[in-house]
Structure 1
Amino acid sequence: MSSSEEVLAAVGPRLRTLRRARGITLDALAAETGLTASTLSRLETGRLRPTLEQLLPLARAHGVPLDDLVAAPPTGDPRIHLRPVRRFGLTIVPLTRRPGGVQAYKVIYPPAGREATTQRQTHDGYEWFYVLNGSIRFVLGEREFVLGAGEAAEFDTRVPHWIGSAGAQPAELLTLFGPQGERAHLEPHQ
């Protein structure tokens, strides 16, 4: 028997256990789900292989996730194992694991130094950042801004820009970068 056949064969006893634990009859469950009592009986005894169309109303009626009915295996480890990278005096922590598309980073800028350069750079893409801690000096084209904790900026990275700490303490940013020019919108379109 294949693993999918074993999983489906185990659904029937689970369905019977759930129904009996609720203390309801096949007829009552049939009225609740829209399935016939005969279909429910055949599902519980394993004479009928369950379909998604049958399992969804049963999961709703029993108040359990669909995964519980089929004893789905647990998903992989959802944690992101962060590996900081140090570049150009910055600490960059990648927060996304998938290639392509919008990428998320935590970036830590060292305290502002006396020789801080504001040499602007340009590259393809679109960037959004949110200041988590500290303050940031942000130069975009010919304009200069100072952003504090809780403030955000969004810009086309083809415009000459520079970002650095504005204070004596390190500054931490949450950054979203899209190499194809994706944008992060905070307000719904109207």
Structure 2
Amino acid sequence: MAMGNPEKDVLEGVGPRLRALRQARSTTLADLAAETGLTASTLSRLETGKLRPTLEQLLPLARAHGVPLDDLVAAPLTGDPRIHLRPVRRSGLTIVPLTRRPGGVQAYKVVYPPAGRASTTKRQTHEGYEWFYVLTGTIRFILGEDEYVLTEGEAAEFDTRLPHWLGSADHRAAEVLTLFGPQGERAHLTPR
């Protein structure tokens, strides 16, 4: 029984995946060229398999499409598929990243300390949209001039350009599942 060339097989699949990703985003070769710094001709040759992709070409394409490099080359799964959660502590909050995919929508579990222990109700603004779902406890949510109380099982979605603040509404910690794009991720996780 003849064995195929796994490296060749992997590289031959890159072109169709690149074309499918570009078409799914309704992006032209010219638009993708402007976004990645690669020429439209190079992109076309990559998509048709006439050019063997290099790492220098695949990295900007992965960034532009918002996918891990492994997705472009359909790399076989290696090692442990579990996500190893590494909580981040910031301003009294515990933030647990639940996704490790670069770009696009990110998921986090956020634990808010009991009311009264929060250092401030200072509202913040940033680009993007945010969605959150209350897992446990009760959340006090200030959006612009309005204030809401959300309990377990309730969700909210809002434009993060509006001044907003979230925190526990009572003497218990509250946990939420939150989703937001790259702009929101930077605003929530970048140390000041």
CA 4–102 in structure 1, closer or farther in 2 if over 3 Å, else same: same
1:105 is aligned to 2:116 = no
Secondary structure at the aligned position of 1:147 is classed as strand
Aligned partner (choices 71, 75, 78) of residue 77 of structure 2:
75
Identity of aligned residues (%): 76
Partner of 1:141: 144
* Structure 1 residue ranges (4+ consecutive) displaced by more than 4 angstroms after TM superposition: none
Partner of 1:132: 135
CA 2–140 in structure 1, closer or farther in 2 if over 3 Å, else same: farther
Structure 2: segments with no counterpart, 5+ residues: 7-74, 185-192
The answer to whether the Cα contact below 8 Å between 2:92 and 2:119 also exists between their aligned partners in 1 is: no
The answer to whether the Cα contact below 8 Å between 1:139 and 1:162 also exists between their aligned partners in 2 is: yes
2: CA distance between counterparts of 1:115 and 1:168? 11
2: CA distance between counterparts of 1:85 and 1:2? 50
Q: CA deviation at 1:117?
A: 2.7
Whose Rg is larger?
1
Q: CA deviation at 1:75?
A: 3.0
Partner of 2:179: 176
- TM-score (structure 1 length as normaliser): 0.55
- TM-score (structure 2 length as normaliser): 0.55
- Cα deviation, 1:154-173, whole Å, max 9, x if unaligned, reads 00000000000001110000
2: CA distance between counterparts of 1:78 and 1:114? 37
